[in-house]
């Protein structure tokens, strides 16, 4: 588990002025990674680091000669069309590069003149997926979401008995994951109305989003080797915001007995920046399990996990309709929640995923599952907010929604705050539903 060090110092400032502006997602205490190039160019995609409203171009950093040792090796690996090689190098390399960049970008750094030309405005770039995602597993870690959705699909048995014993997950579809800005056609599939004798085929009518955290794996494990819970987070490179779009009417018809399929595999969207595990060290909090619930089995239990296994990543969801866009109106906020409510921690997810000998490779991703809080207004999906489509959600321009309509853009934001530390953010993940083909 990453320790708090000089890179987290709240008093640390950068010679990049925009990194010192109050409320920025990307102060010097953050330094997340992405794959970028200048917008509308034929440049090769390459690694970059966010600082204020700028991207630090790792190609230029490597060429500048300011880095040495492990930091230079790490930056050279990250200066590629995908971050997989860098992610697979492990914690020592990740930390060395973070420290070296923090020192180089700090006020008074002797490297300012060498690196000023390595900055490119974020407004002038476009992003690719930060890594090749070979495999993606979606978990189901919010007990509030599981209970709310279960009560809609299974009113007599909303929470299945295994939920409190085992981190539930399913194998998602990595090929349809796109970076923020993704637009996709409304999916088609089978649905069955409650009063119909046979199913029908056509575009989904109950399009929804899911507010999730994406968890990127770094250094992997050999086939047959389990990752101990005390080592689990050393295998986690970092985190992003994740919108796992869902077609609820397709889901209701197909999900038993094997779970989600066409209702989930048509599109999923990630934010471009990966906030590293080390950057999140100050925002950890205690994880606990209600004393009346089953306690984790031994392989899912540790004192470190109890003391600091939860992470207070605050998130919100906004909806921009086509009408809002055409009239220049602000998006309407739908809900706000936090990852700290997760019933299972990241370490428990990683450990359980490998306890049977399953092997991770760098760039594999885990979805946290929809992150809903204990209150209705903290719901992470429209399915919950509309109580299964029974109630309309009123937007700030007078429009109403029960589920997403064509042209709707969903915007998710994330940030962390803690006493004695600077605020850091995840940026945004945006995606738009287009009409069915």
Residues involved in catalysis = 145
The per-residue pLDDT for 160 is: 87
The per-residue pLDDT for 150 is: 87
25 is in an annotated binding site: no
Q: For all residues of the chain together, what is the average pLDDT?
A: 97
User: Percent of the chain, pLDDT > 90?
Assistant: 95
Among 75, 102, 128, give the residue marking a domain's end. Answer: 128
255 is in an annotated binding site: yes
3-state secondary structure 148-169: HHHHHHCCCCCCCCCCCCCCCE
Residue 416 domain-assigned?
yes
Q: Tokens standing for 164?
A: 């409190």
Same domain, 153 and 277: yes
Q: Is the pLDDT of residue 436 over 80?
A: yes
The per-residue pLDDT for 151 is: 87
Residue 349 domain-assigned?
yes
Same domain, 92 and 159: no
**pLDDT tens digit sequence for 5-27:** 999 999 999 999 999 999 999 99
Residue 1 domain-assigned?
no
Among 128, 153, 188, give the residue marking a domain's end. Answer: 128
Model pTM score: 0.97
Q: How many CB atoms lie within 10 A of CB 113?
A: 10
Same domain, 172 and 80: no
CA distance 56 to 31: 9
The per-residue pLDDT for 88 is: 98
Domain, as residue range, for 69: 6-128
Q: Tokens standing for 183?
A: 């637009």
Same domain, 402 and 334: yes
| CA 256, 261, 264, 270 torsion-angle sign | positive
**pLDDT tens digit sequence for 259-268:** 899 999 999 9
Same domain, 113 and 141: no
The per-residue pLDDT for 1 is: 66
Specify whether the CB–CB gap between 237 and 425 falls below 8 A. Answer: no
Residue 323 domain-assigned?
yes
402 is in an annotated binding site: no
The per-residue pLDDT for 154 is: 81
Same domain, 199 and 50: no
Residue 427 domain-assigned?
yes
CA distance 211 to 243: 5
- Burial (CB < 10 A; 0-12, 13-18, 19+), residue 371, is buried
Residue 218 domain-assigned?
yes
Among 128, 153, 176, give the residue marking a domain's end. Answer: 128
- DSSP letters for 269-293: EE-S-BEETGGGGGGEE-----TTS
Same domain, 293 and 342: yes
Same domain, 113 and 175: no
Same domain, 161 and 68: no
Same domain, 398 and 415: yes
* Mean pLDDT calculated for residue range 47-75: 98
**pLDDT tens digit sequence for 328-386:** 999 999 999 999 999 999 999 999 999 999 999 999 999 999 999 999 999 999 999 99
Number of domains the chain is built from: 2
DSSP secondary structure letter of residue 192: -
370 is in an annotated binding site: yes
Give the H or E element holding residue 305. helix 303-308
Q: What's the CA angle centered on 328, arms 327 and 333, to 5 degrees?
A: 105
Q: Is the pLDDT of residue 178 over 80?
A: yes
**pLDDT tens digit sequence for 411-423:** 999 999 999 999 9
- Going by pLDDT thresholds of 50, 70 and 90, the confidence category of residue 46 is very high
Q: What's the CATH number where 232 sits?
A: 3.90.850.10
CA distance 302 to 228: 10
Residue 376 domain-assigned?
yes
Pick the closest to residue 236 from 138, 47, 91, 359 (CA basis): 91
CA distance 369 to 365: 12
Going through 119-210 in order, the beta strands assigned E by DSSP cover 119-121, 125-128, 136-139, 169-171, 177-179, 182-185, 188-191, 200-203, 207-208
Q: Measured between alpha carbons, how far is residue 52 from residues 126, 180, 384 in Å?
A: 16, 19, 35
The per-residue pLDDT for 156 is: 82
Same domain, 199 and 100: no
CA distance 371 to 377: 12
* Mean pLDDT calculated for residue range 171-185: 97
The per-residue pLDDT for 92 is: 97
138 is in an annotated binding site: yes
* Mean pLDDT calculated for residue range 277-291: 97
Strand 136-139 to 211-217 pairing: unpaired
Same domain, 113 and 245: no
Q: What's the CATH number where 70 sits?
A: 2.30.30.230
- Going by pLDDT thresholds of 50, 70 and 90, the confidence category of residue 155 is confident
91 is in an annotated binding site: no
The per-residue pLDDT for 236 is: 98
419 is in an annotated binding site: no
268 is in an annotated binding site: yes
């Amino acid at each position: 588990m990453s320790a708090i060090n000089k890179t987290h110092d709240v008093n640390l400032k950068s010679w990049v002025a925009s990194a010192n502006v109050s409320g920025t997602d990307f102060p010097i205490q953050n330094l997340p990674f992405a794959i970028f190039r200048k917008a509308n160019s034929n440049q090769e995609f390459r690694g970059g680091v966010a600082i204020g409203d700028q991207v630090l171009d790792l190609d230029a950093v490597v060429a500048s000669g300011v880095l040495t040792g492990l930091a230079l090796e790490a930056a050279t690996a990250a200066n590629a069309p995908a971050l997989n090689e860098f992610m697979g190098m492990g914690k020592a390399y990740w930390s060395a590069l973070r420290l070296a960049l923090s020192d180089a970008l700090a006020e008074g750094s002797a490297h300012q003149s060498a690196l000023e030309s390595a900055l490119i405005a974020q407004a002038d770039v476009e992003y690719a997926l930060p890594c090749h995602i070979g495999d993606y597993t979606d978990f189901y870690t919010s007990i509030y979401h599981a209970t709310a959705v279960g009560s809609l699909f299974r009113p007599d048995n909303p929470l299945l008995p295994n939920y409190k014993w085992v981190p539930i997950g399913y194998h998602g579809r990595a090929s349809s994951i796109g970076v923020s800005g993704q637009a996709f056609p409304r999916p088609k599939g089978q649905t069955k109305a409650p009063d119909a004798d046979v199913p029908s085929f056509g575009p989904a009518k109950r399009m929804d989003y899911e507010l999730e955290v994406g968890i990127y794996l770094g250094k992997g494990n050999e086939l047959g080797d389990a990752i101990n819970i005390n080592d689990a987070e050393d295998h986690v490179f970092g985190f992003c915001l994740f919108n796992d779009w869902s077609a609820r009417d397709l889901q209701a018809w197909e999900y038993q007995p094997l779970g989600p399929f066409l209702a989930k595999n048509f599109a999923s969207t990630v934010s471009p920046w990966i906030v590293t595990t080390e950057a999140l060290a100050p925002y950890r909090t205690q994880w606990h399990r209600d004393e009346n619930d089953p306690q984790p089995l031994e392989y899912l239990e540790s004192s470190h996990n109890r003391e600091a296994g939860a992470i207070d990543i605050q998130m919100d969801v906004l909806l921009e309709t086509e009408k809002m866009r055409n009239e220049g109106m602000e998006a309407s906020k739908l809900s706000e929640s936090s990852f700290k409510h997760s019933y299972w921690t990241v370490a428990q997810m990683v450990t359980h995923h490998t306890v049977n000998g399953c092997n991770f490779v760098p760039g594999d991703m885990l979805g946290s599952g929809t992150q809903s809080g204990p209150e209705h207004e903290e719901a992470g999906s429209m399915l919950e907010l509309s109580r299964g489509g029974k109630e309309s959600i009123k937007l700030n321009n007078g429009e109403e929604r029960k589920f997403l309509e064509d042209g709707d853009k969903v915007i998710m934001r994330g940030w962390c705050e803690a006493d004695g530390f600077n605020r850091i953010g995840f940026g945004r993940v945006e995606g738009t539903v287009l009409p069915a083909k």
